Amino acid sequence: MRISKVLLCLLLPSIAFSSDYIKGHLEQRGNQFYITDQNNQSLLIQTDATTEKSLASLANPTYMQQSDGSKYVFEFKGTLEEEQFTLDQVPTQVAGLNTLRGVLASGQTSDEYIIDNQKAIFGATKVLNGYEFDEISKKSFLGKEVLAEGFYNNEGVFVINALTPKNLLTASKPDALPSEIQELWQENGDWDFIYSVMNTNEISQSKVPFRMSLYEEENYQVQPNEEFLVVTMSGRQGDSFGSVNGHFVAGLGTVKDNMELRGEVSNAYVYNGKDILSGNTSLTNYFSHIIQGQNNYRPTYTLIVYGIEPEKLKGFRDALEESHIKFRTEKLSITPEYNCTTETVKALNDVGIKGNYKKWDNTLKSIVTFPLRIFGSTGKTLHYSLGNDASKFQPRPAFNSFAGVVLRDDLRKKYNIKRVDYIFYPQIPSARPVGGMAVGSLRQSIKYKKLYDKYEVNEATKLPPEELKRILEQELQKIE
């Protein structure tokens, strides 16, 4: 559809145009792609062949769909012209077309809320493992300043799809730390605080988010439009043995004029029940979407790193696209050789961003266990696992290996790192059992995989919900 200048002026506010960014849905018509709004007004997309290769599986993913039937929403970066949009990169999934900022307050009815004098309601949720973003979740945000993302319905009511605490995803000066956290940080120092204190159930299961600067170069100050690297790990869930490994991804972004982070992660995700579409997803969508958000299910631990060369960051983004297309078009299973961590670490390594890895003892184990490959997939998996540092295939060791880079003076200098922020975002309160830190070893992973198969998969030994809940709490609290 060709758009006149007058119609274009009407279209842009509805798809949240800002500078060279547009939010909307992605639609394929024949061999062409369009940005469309909720009224089906459209902009033709022009882009290079490499970027276009990703668009079909985003517009029409083979397996993943949103449970409520709505289309995924994307942010498109490029150049707006009179009748088309020249796309610079593969689009980023976001939580909605519009954004609200302010204190979440109760409205006139039990389902109604107010943000900055705007009537709001919560969007669709989804029950997973017997739990969802519920009334406990909603009430946990009351009276707090939030960043809300969603859309306006036909009655002019704002529908909330994601809700994030203010000052968490920003480059501004961090708020004062909770007194307990401040004391633990001062007593233990950076290394022990990250590697030990944050692993404990007492801290990983707390309800208070915080952001702290682990390092800042003297006389350095973050500026708008500055770019950054994101490295983030999700902990274990409290409702299943199958999620003890957590999740690991990385991403990039730029600082907005108001110092908020326009950030994203390259979220490598196989077929799942959380409506998560593998690809580039905004930080607010990744953490705080009321169905897809990691923090509905478990706590997250994040490093925001300023100063790394922009070329490396873009190279990382591009390096993961082949994996995303595969995740979106094939119904794959997670293995030690192929998962969120392996693909993220490979892409980071490809552009020269590397963690601290063991080498010689893994090389020796690889040689010794090579004959196991003749025993099929199990033998190949064991050979791979023993022959590679766990930092290359398991979330917690991977996160720790990159934390080890930003905490070392020599490696910060090597990567030109100017500042490092650490963000702890706890699990959003709900009836769902509280998770915590992910497992840290292959041995633990194997142990809980056996419990998962026994108590949640095998029909002969599968436990009823209440009994499973008791066993989960008993066993998972051992992980620190």
What averages of pLDDT result for each successive group of 10 residues across the chain (480 residues)? 39 47 95 88 94 95 89 95 91 97 96 97 96 98 98 96 96 95 97 97 96 96 96 98 96 96 93 93 98 98 96 90 91 81 90 73 43 43 55 93 94 95 98 97 93 96 96 96
Strand-strand pairing, 158-165 and 21-29: unpaired
Identify the pLDDT of residue 359. 53
β-strand partners of 447: none
Identify the pLDDT of residue 378. 43
Residue 304 DSSP SS3: strand
* Chain position carrying tokens 């490092």: 420
- pTM exceeds 0.95: no
Identify the pLDDT of residue 478. 96
The residue among 446, 431, 341 whose CA lies nearest residue 389 is: 341
Identify the pLDDT of residue 52. 95
Identify the pLDDT of residue 388. 61
CATH topology of domain 20-93: OB fold (Dihydrolipoamide Acetyltransferase, E2P) (2.40.50)
The amino acid occupying position 427 is Q
- Angle among Cα 141, 145, 149 to the nearest 5 degrees reads 80
The residue among 277, 276, 237, 233 whose CA lies nearest residue 251 is: 233
Residue 150 CB contacts under 8 Å (≥ 6 apart), including other chains: 95, 96, 97, 98, 100, 120, 123, 158, 159, 160, 161, 162
The domain spans of the chain are 20-93, 98-165, 179-477
Q: Phi and psi (nearest 5°) for 472?
A: -60, -50
- Angle among Cα 358, 364, 368 to the nearest 5 degrees reads 140
